[in-house]
Amino acid sequence: MLFIVAVFIISADTMAQTAKRSFKPVDLLHIPTLEDPQLSPDGKWIAYSLSEVDSAKDNRVSHLWMQSYDGKQSIELTQGSDPASSPKWTPDGKYLSYLSERDSKNGGQVWLMDRRGGEGRKLTDIKGSLEDYVWSPDSKKLALIIKDPENKGKPEPKTPRPIKIDRYHFKQDVDGYLQHLHSHLYIYDIATKKLDTLTKGDMDDSSPVWSPDGKTIAFVSNHTVDPDRNENSDIFTIEAKSGAEANQLTTFTGRDSSPLWSPDGKHIAYLRSTSDADYFIYQHEVLCLMDADGKNNKLLTEQLDRPVSNHVWSKDSKNIAYLVSDDRIRYIAQYNLLLHKSTVINKSAQSSFENIVAHSPGNWIVKMTNPHLPHELVAIENGKIRRLTFHQDKWLNKVKLAYVKGFQSFSSDGTLVSGILYTPDSVVNKKLPFILYIHGGPTDQDEFEFDAIRQVLASAGYAVAAVNYRGSTGRGIEFTKAIYADWGNKEVKDLLGAVDELVKMGIADPQRLGIGGWSYGGILTDYTIATDTRFKAAASGAGSALQLSIYGSDQWVVQYDNELGPPWKNAEKYIKLSYPFFHADKIKTPTLFMSGLKDFNVPTGGGEQMYQALISLGIPTELVLYPGQNHGISVPSYQVDRVQRYIGWFDKYLGPPTL
């Protein structure tokens, strides 16, 4: 086995030298995205969705695929220009259901595909937005989460009605202006096609899961007086019949979420935030367990001091598998209920996992990525990885990717910081023009995964660094919390420390330093260039600098009121955190600003104001606006345009790299 792998690598390398071309911006259009693996009840098939770019329509279209567990067969199940997503097997194995807007005037509906044969057919015709659906264990019912329909389900009038806002939290990216449309739990009977309301009211319900006996549904909701003002979601159960009363299981004043019944029905595993404050962004989730009636809550991973996600019960109810975000990787661990302890299932040095599915005791199916491979499905059998899908090979075979390795640096205050370095080749013979490309969040981390943007930049001839500055996850809660109400201070020290280290290592040319990022990465770009003038070019995407301007104009008011205080009580703090704007005259770096015009997460004003400041100061600058785009740029041609403009801008001010 080992021998075969080695041969494969050698032959791939040989091919690279002869035929492979470098990875280019337009290759972003060739990368499929694999999501949502679902195991058939008999354990033989994994259904999932795969989205690919339709360049004519300039969008991504997802379709359902099915992969045999033995690795031998791969079948595309849905076709056409209307996407299909969210595959789920009926527990009796007779149907594969999914969501599609095909033949629907009311958005996504549940479709059924008969496993004996035949095309899918539309099952539901629901008004409102179908956000989630789950099969009852007897395959006779669906628990649905439906968001109230716009305009009470009537067609939009020719002149849209004025939008009346009266909520505290009134803007949200993608959702837009928030009024009083709420998501509630419904039961849909497959045989009678009857829809029953389970919950209602001025709050949102989500994450429904059926108890194994099919009698009860657990779900998540925030039942405080004004859910806009805190994150105190709790886990509730409700009998699966109309008129039933919800029963609150958790009482922690932070966030309880993601309930999962053990297959034997005795326990509910769930996630809980570490903080019980109304709002706290610098925290992570802890895996918890309680009895099915809400008693005996236990924190299972508190000592781990790492974010836990995506927990899954083994079919024998003995283990809970989960993902751990740890210093640049995301590994799989499991908690054993008998031994009361966690062990590692698979921890690969340069890989990250997502979407665990329990196969059979000891065996799991999971999505895996590494710096040279976007997500594919693998089986993990007694800790060993067996690859199941091969959707990426077609385009990967044609291109040469950048070389990726980890590095660490010390900041000026002695903090050890982890980073990932991308270079055009594994051997660096001379100093390279350099781009520090900063992740968003801030509560997140750069991992060893396939990173298209940094790959493209490195393939254009740059050394590119990702740095997990303080505020990032994966290094413990103290590392994350360090930047509380102190933005643009320790992060900048960590970023600059990494740059210093790469200069010292002879990789980054100190005369040709570039910087950039998106979201909090754009915000940190502004902070960094206002702190240090050594960068010759910057690209600040979806960022902001005058933090006063985003109070009330973005989606984060509850964070600001909690972390910084209201501006009229704590103006000095806001002004301090806005130093790139109030000291814009310290900036000397030519900067390309970018924004999606429908971004309510970090609105366009953030880019506009810094653009205006720099052009007023005569510093070379440009503002590129993407029509109709939210915080994340989703139109494929814009994704390509963005990286092309990055390369154009860095080439212009750093000098085009010599490859």
The residues that touch another protein, with contacts defined as CB under 8 A, are 57-58, 158-160, 162-168, 170-171, 177, 546, 548-549, 551-553, 557, 561, 566-569, 571, 575, 581-585, 597, 603, 605, 608-613, 615-617, 621-628, 635, 637-638, 641
Cβ distance to another protein smaller for residue 3 or 568: 568
Cβ distance to another protein smaller for residue 521 or 603: 603
Distance CA 274, CA 223 (A): 20
Cβ distance to another protein smaller for residue 331 or 518: 518
> Closest approach of Cβ 162 to another protein, in Å?
5
> 290-307: b or e for each residue (b if 16 or more CB lie within 10 Å)?
bebebeebeebbeebbbb
Q: What does the DSSP assignment read for 389-442?
A: --TTHHHHTTEEPPEEEEEEEE-TTS-EEEEEEEESSS---S-EEEEEEE-S-S
Cβ distance to another protein smaller for residue 333 or 643: 643
| Residue that is written with structure tokens 């958005």 in the block | 107
Cβ distance to another protein smaller for residue 327 or 563: 563
First to last CA, the chain: 36
Cβ distance to another protein smaller for residue 133 or 581: 581
> Closest approach of Cβ 611 to another protein, in Å?
7
> Closest approach of Cβ 514 to another protein, in Å?
19
Q: Which of 301, 354, 304 is nearest to 329 (CA)?
A: 354
> Closest approach of Cβ 601 to another protein, in Å?
15
> Closest approach of Cβ 529 to another protein, in Å?
14
**Paired tokens of 225:** 């007086």
307 within 8 A of 325, measured Cβ to Cβ? yes
Residues 6+ apart with CB under 8 A from 96: 40, 47, 64, 66, 77, 87, 88, 89, 90, 112, 113, 115
Distance CA 607, CA 538 (A): 13
> Closest approach of Cβ 166 to another protein, in Å?
5
365: enclosing H helix or E strand: strand 363-370
Cβ distance to another protein smaller for residue 628 or 656: 628
Any bridge partners for residue 373, and if so which?
Answer: 370
Distance CA 448, CA 453 (A): 14
> Closest approach of Cβ 79 to another protein, in Å?
23
> Closest approach of Cβ 614 to another protein, in Å?
10
Any bridge partners for residue 516, and if so which?
Answer: 437, 539
Q: Which of 55, 63, 54 is nearest to 35 (CA)?
A: 63
Cβ distance to another protein smaller for residue 408 or 553: 553
439 within 8 A of 451, measured Cβ to Cβ? no
> Closest approach of Cβ 551 to another protein, in Å?
6
> Closest approach of Cβ 201 to another protein, in Å?
21
Cβ distance to another protein smaller for residue 195 or 548: 548
Three-class secondary structure of residue 48 per DSSP: strand
> Closest approach of Cβ 616 to another protein, in Å?
6
Cβ distance to another protein smaller for residue 464 or 623: 623
> Closest approach of Cβ 571 to another protein, in Å?
5
Distance CA 441, CA 342 (A): 28
Q: Where are the beta strands (DSSP E) in 24-83?
A: 33-39, 45-54, 59-68, 74-76
> Closest approach of Cβ 174 to another protein, in Å?
17
Q: What does the DSSP assignment read for 470-489?
A: BTBSSS-HHHHHTTTT-TTT
Cβ distance to another protein smaller for residue 395 or 582: 582
> Closest approach of Cβ 589 to another protein, in Å?
15
> Closest approach of Cβ 177 to another protein, in Å?
7
Distance of CA 250 to the CA centre of its chain: 26
> 483-514: b or e for each residue (b if 16 or more CB lie within 10 Å)?
beeebbbbbbbbbbbbbbbbbeeebbbeebbb
Residues 6+ apart with CB under 8 A from 386: 71, 378, 379, 380
> 553-577: b or e for each residue (b if 16 or more CB lie within 10 Å)?
bbbbbbebbbbbeebeeeeebbebb
Cβ distance to another protein smaller for residue 480 or 629: 629
Residue type, 295: K
> Closest approach of Cβ 280 to another protein, in Å?
18
366: enclosing H helix or E strand: strand 363-370
Cβ distance to another protein smaller for residue 366 or 592: 592
Distance CA 110, CA 144 (A): 10
Cβ distance to another protein smaller for residue 236 or 581: 581
Nearest 5°: phi and psi at 121? -135, 150
Cβ distance to another protein smaller for residue 341 or 569: 569
Cβ distance to another protein smaller for residue 469 or 581: 581
Q: Which of 115, 68, 14 is nearest to 390 (CA)?
A: 68
Q: CB-hemisphere CA count at 13 Å for 321?
A: 29
